[in-house]
Chains A and B, each alone.
Chain A
Amino acid sequence: MNFEMYLFKRERGRNVSETFKEDPRLKNAFKEFLLMNGVLVAYTIVWFLAMLTWARNPYTLILGLPWWFAMSFIAILFNVVVAAATILGVKDDDLSAYAEGEQQ
């Protein structure tokens, strides 16, 4: 049993991430998971706020278009947000099983 495994067995209340060295690529994957959730929550909030506001009158016009048609602009706007989040937020990590230079 190596030292880290010993620690893991002995200190069961301890944060398990301290018992071994984490792969930074997998840490990035978790950050990207949070990013995805953040964008989808924002999308949901914007969508339902717009819908609940505009749908009060079924004949509401937005920029001269029926509100239900204008809802598609939100989806298109979030296409831009999703593209920006993907390009800027997703790290260009190597996908090999074990990245060269990271192992100890």
Chain B
Amino acid sequence: MTGPVTSAERTITLLIFIVFQLILIGIALQSRRKLQKTAIDKYTEEFYTAGRGLGVFAVAFMLAAGLCSVGTFLGGPGLAYSIGIPYVSLIGLQVFMNFSILVGIGKKVAIIGRRINAFSIGDILSKRAEDFKPLAILYALIIFLFYSVYAASQFLGSARIFEVMTGLPFYYALITAGIVTLIYATFGGIRGVALSAVVQGIVMTVATVFLIVFVFKNTLADYGSLANVTKALANTAGEKYVTEYMPLKWQLGLWFMFDWGLMALPHGLQAAFTYKSTKALKGAVIIGAIAVTFWTLSMLMSGLLARLYVPDLKVADYAIPLMVMKFSPWLGGIVFSGVIAAAQSTIAVMIMVISGALLQQLYRNVKPNATPVQLKKATLYLTVVAAVLPFLLALVQIPALEYLIIFAVGGTASAFLAPIALGLFWKRGSKYAMSSSMVVGLLVYIMGKAVYKPLAMGWDASVVATLSSFLVYIIVALIKNERPSQHVLNLFWGVNKPNTTV
């Protein structure tokens, strides 16, 4: 390994960052051409779904890179660094996210999306609930509040790493990455986001390849074999680092949320509205599984092995960047680009989801007869709002951000999983079952997480909240004998258009 990071090495990292941002701007300009050619009455659909015509790689990476955020590239390795082997034993988490989303509900979402011209899962939930306005508004508020905080955390996480790796104030990265993300989201819509995600996915993969090769090469050179590493970790960080396990309930809860809960995160589901064919779906599942498996396994193992090289970090999230800067500045620049790519791809998809919720569930409810020109303007303005708010939250560095992120992910999944799964596949329940399950899921989660922790009964609050949400949906649907209208039944299950006679 080399010595302390020099200013020349920091400059290399900075140059790689700048080149990467310029490439993203180029993609935005390219996507803008396509968007400008779109007829005005199709503009909103093209903006949010890319005309439902995206191929394998765009869908695979929009979903995988969109869901694999700074958490996968910094937070997860940070936990592996601080908790040790007990956390690494869960490295199989989240690796089949494309499979659970696209095979689980992707086909139904794609067909229903085309039937009702839906741009997001919010549109589908609203239609399934017979256009029940309180549900639509609740959905938009949950998305707006939680996702703004979530996106802010991505901005902030990547900007702080920029500060560590370049020595420059983090505002530089925050402003640059913020402006670039805003440009490619507003200029190119979801097509710009998806094409950028392909580049970002490639950058993330290349960064991971370099990282894993360097880390394992050094580890094997220093310790002889992997078999000796467990003992070396115990010597460095203490015996508990390799033996003290989290409670099984905690592990299963985490597993549940990262395997099934992801199905309810609207920024993951957005990809299901964009793919053009079943062939694209299949390809996106297989490529996504390989990519996410590779990223997750490599990052968590590198986080664990970082304990051998940078053993006493105060901020565990910096384990990977600081370790790789010691190996090689070039590697540092590449890995840094991977982290920035992970953050920007997530932020971009989130911006689209927030903007879509504001447009479809709020603006169109207030102004149901908006003209295509008004919709086009509203789309652009709301996308700017959706991008600027997280940016401002990141700028003021709101406190306790990490806890709010956990709330954001867990709360969103707890509120939406039951209405999505039962709403799409069970022909019972309608607006009351869906709304009550959404409210109960959210409230139980907040209660179990922050107000009255015994409510979670030793599980992660999201598990109890999600189960409560499912239970409430079923009880309300059965007690009220609530069924969808014939119109909704035909839309969601039928073979004929709702206005045609069987």
What residues of chain A have their CB less than 8 Å away from a CB belonging to chain B?
2-5, 8, 12, 16-17, 19-26, 28-30, 32-33, 35-37, 39-40, 43-44, 47-48, 51, 55, 58-59, 61, 64-66, 68-69, 71-72, 74-76, 78-79, 82-83, 85-87, 89-93, 95-99, 102-104
Contacts and interface: CB of A to CB of B under 8 A. Distances in A.
Interface centre among A3, A64, A71, A91 (most CB of B within 10 A): A71
Nearest to B428: A16
B89 A71 contact: yes
18 contacts: A17-B493, A20-B502, A21-B494, A25-B111, A33-B103, A36-B100, A40-B96, A40-B259, A64-B227, A72-B301, A75-B92, A82-B99, A86-B103, A86-B285, A92-B279, A97-B111, A98-B495, A103-B496
A61 B227 CA distance: 7
B293 A75 contact: yes
A8 B92 contact: no
Interface stretch (B32-40, B55-63, B403-411, B481-489): B481-489
Contacts of B461: none
Nearest to A16: B427
A4 B502 contact: yes
A102 B494 CA distance: 10
Tell me whether chain B's interface is mostly helix, strand or loop, or mixed: helix
Contact of B103 (A5, A16, A22, A85): A85
Given A58-B243, A92-B279, 20 more contacts: A2-B501, A3-B502, A5-B486, A12-B483, A21-B496, A23-B493, A25-B111, A32-B103, A33-B421, A44-B259, A64-B225, A68-B89, A72-B301, A75-B92, A75-B293, A83-B285, A86-B103, A90-B103, A95-B278, A98-B115
B100 to A, nearest CB: 6
A28 B230 contact: no
A36 B73 CA distance: 26
Contacts of B52: 95
A20 B489 contact: yes
Contacts of B440: none
Tell me whether chain A's interface is mostly helix, strand or loop, or mixed: helix
A35 B502 contact: no
A98 B499 CA distance: 13
Contacts of B496: 20-21, 98, 103-104
Interface residues of B, number: 68
B226 A104 contact: no
A104 to B, nearest CB: 6
B172 interface: no
Contact of B494 (A5, A20, A93): A20
B242 A58 contact: yes
B105 A26 contact: no
B104 A37 contact: yes
Interface string B243-264: 1010000011001000110000
A16 B489 contact: yes
Contact of A43 (B96, B242, B285): B96
Given A16-B428, A22-B495, A103-B500, A32 B255 contact: no
A95 B293 contact: no
B104 A74 contact: no
A17 B427 contact: yes
Given A5-B486, A86-B103, A87-B282, A26 B293 contact: no
Contacts of B483: 8, 12, 16
A71 B91 contact: yes
B230 A58 contact: yes
A71 B425 contact: no
Nearest to B255: A44
A72 B494 contact: no
A100 B100 CA distance: 28
Contact of B495 (A4, A37, A55, A103): A103
B88 A68 contact: yes
A101 to B, nearest CB: 10
Contacts of B107: 25, 28-29, 32, 90, 93, 95
Given A32-B104, A66-B230, A22 B494 contact: yes
A34 B104 CA distance: 7
A83 to B, nearest CB: 5
Interface centre among A17, A33, A92, A99 (most CB of B within 10 A): A33
B91 to A, nearest CB: 6
A24 B107 CA distance: 12
Given A12-B481, A59-B231, A85-B103, A19 B108 contact: no
Contacts of B502: 2-4, 20-21, 104
Contacts of A92: 278-279
Contacts of B89: 51, 55, 68, 71
B229 interface: yes
Contacts of B91: 68, 71-72, 75
Given A32-B104, A103-B500, A96 B114 contact: yes
